[in-house]
């Protein structure tokens, strides 16, 4: 059964002085299976492209409710809740640069999703903020064989498998 993969890609870009990153979504049964989708989603140089972190997700808990993540060719109704990726940012007094956290939440709209995401802000961060709220459905390839749309169904799900790593692709 396919799962949602949330993957932190790292690599080079011709106009960047440092390594750049992006979080991309893919559908598959293993990290190896989703590599072609990851390469297609990458905006930078192919040489040096790598995975810095990945998560295989079959469900999420949001507001105390468990949701299975299923895939379908049928579009969800306008009243269905959606899965959102929240990209949070903040600063530490003793470190140069911005820190980030990424969380999935279930909400009816982006405004509600942004509010739900605030619970994950680092307690030691200065000037915490939401960098981005992304509807996960908008990140998935239209022509994917497992289904184009995410459907959230209340129920139990397998634990998330994840790893922070360096995996050249």
Contact residues for 161 (Cβ-Cβ < 8 A; gap 6+): 55, 56
Order the strands of the 82-91 sheet from edge to edge: 98-107, 82-91, 126-135
Q: What are the CA-CA distances from residue 165 to residues 4, 37, 54, 129, 138 (Å)?
A: 18, 19, 8, 26, 26
Q: What is the dihedral of CA 139, 144, 146, 148, to 10 degrees?
A: 50
Residue pLDDT, tens place only, 39-66: 999 999 999 999 999 999 999 999 999 9
pLDDT at 145 over 60: no
CATH number, domain containing residue 164: 3.10.20.10
pLDDT in tens, 4-46: 999 999 999 999 999 999 999 999 999 999 999 999 999 999 9
Q: What's the pLDDT score for residue 123?
A: 87
81-128: pLDDT as tens digits: 999 999 999 999 999 999 999 999 999 999 999 999 999 998 899 999
Range of the domain at 148: 3-168
Supply the pLDDT for residue 140. 84
113: Cα within 13 Å, side-chain hemisphere? 24
CB 134 within 8 A of CB 85: yes
Domain count, the chain: 1
3-state class of 155 per DSSP? coil
What is the per-residue pLDDT for 142? 64
């Amino acid at each position: 059964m396919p799962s949602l993969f949330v993957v932190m890609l790292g690599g080079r870009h011709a106009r960047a002085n440092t390594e750049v990153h992006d979080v991309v979504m893919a559908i598959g049964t293993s990290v190896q299976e989703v590599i072609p989708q990851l390469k297609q989603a990458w905006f930078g140089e192919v040489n040096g492209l790598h995975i810095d972190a990945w998560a295989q997700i079959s469900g999420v808990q949001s507001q105390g409710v468990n949701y299975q993540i299923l895939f379908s060719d049928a579009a969800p109704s306008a009243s269905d809740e959606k899965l959102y990726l929240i990209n949070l940012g903040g600063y530490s007094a003793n470190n140069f640069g911005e820190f980030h956290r990424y969380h999935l939440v279930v909400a009816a709209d982006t405004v509600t999703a942004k509010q739900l995401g605030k619970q994950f802000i680092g307690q030691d961060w200065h000037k915490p903020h939401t960098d981005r709220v992304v509807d996960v459905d908008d990140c998935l390839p239209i022509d994917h064989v497992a289904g184009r749309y995410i459907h959230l169904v209340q129920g139990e799900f397998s634990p998330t498998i994840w790893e922070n790593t360096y995996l050249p692709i």
